[in-house]
Amino acid sequence: MPGKRSLDGKVVLITGASSGIGEAAALAFAQAGAHLILTARREARLHALRDRLRGAFSRCETLVVPADLSQMRDLENLAAQALAWRGRVDVLVNNAGFGRLRWLEELDPAEDVVAQITLDLIAPLLLTRAILPAMIRQRGGCIINVASVAALIAAPTYTVYSAAKFGLRGMSEALRREVRPFGIAVCLLCPGPVATEFGQHLRRDSRTELAIARRLRRPAHEIGERIVGLARRPRRIVVIPWYMGWLAVINSSMAGLVDLFIDRFYVARLRRDDQSGGAAPGARQP
């Protein structure tokens, strides 16, 4: 097994860095001695994180580039600034994303479907495409795509989110095989529930959230540290927690039984409630 890669002085670009997993990854990379390019839409939070990093890690230099990655102009500007800063990007962490977890017929076509696919799948594809030529020229690099267990198991109300994350999984597998001859690693990280702000933007009725998912949430710093671990020693795919990987195997090998279980104990009950006059799971709260 090859030794761990040193991250000292490496240039790391992290999307969605203003909170949650992205913020945690930034702190972990700074501790490892890397220089950081931080991007997200919330500029004030990015500057606050930069100041925090400067205070705690004097060797860490940071470039802040506010961007909405659903906008092509912002994405192109981010790639240009990132590459111009130090002439290279050694690690790209495609982390930015959001979810809208409701029944498909309740989702808004533009705000919930197109926007979700754009940020969760198209943006990582296009940003990777923009950074990749520099990695090929330098004959090395690491691309870490932060997906979800939803890239392995598609649950009810995750229709669009899983479509994006399954796509990210396919992108990672194909790209890994494309760029391996250039010494570039492509990693897919599939965390289960994580304690971040992600859940605040789901716009779903609490009935459609499995209670067990709330109890299984992992701290963001754990995921951030695993991202740094992948940059040091790349792997094709990492599932957190590990046993979710076995659930994915069960889901794939015994799909009929899983369908029956979910229908009988979860979906059928909620659908009956809707038809009997209960509040629709996708109804927005005032």
d(CA 97, CA 234) in angstroms, rounded, equals 22
CA distances from 248 to 105, 118, 239 (A): 26, 25, 10
Count the helix, strand and coil residues of the chain and give each as a percent rounded to the nearest 5.
55, 15, 30
The two structure tokens encoding residue 223: 């995921």
Radius of gyration of the chain (CA): 19
The two structure tokens encoding residue 72: 């092509």
Exposure on the CB side of residue 121, measured as CA atoms within 13 A? 19
Other beta carbons within 10 angstroms of residue 258's beta carbon come to 16
Could you tell me whether strands 91-94 and 184-191 are parallel, antiparallel, or unpaired per DSSP bridges?
unpaired
- Can 243 be counted among the known catalytic residues? no
Could you tell me whether strands 184-191 and 141-146 are parallel, antiparallel, or unpaired per DSSP bridges?
parallel
Could you tell me whether strands 218-219 and 237-240 are parallel, antiparallel, or unpaired per DSSP bridges?
unpaired
Taking alpha carbons only, the member of 285, 279, 7 closest to residue 141 is 7
Phi/psi-derived region of residue 38, left when phi > 0, alpha when psi is between -120 and 50, beta in every other case: beta
Q: Tell me which of 158, 161, 243, 266 is the catalytic residue.
A: 161
Give the residue numbers marked as catalytic: 161
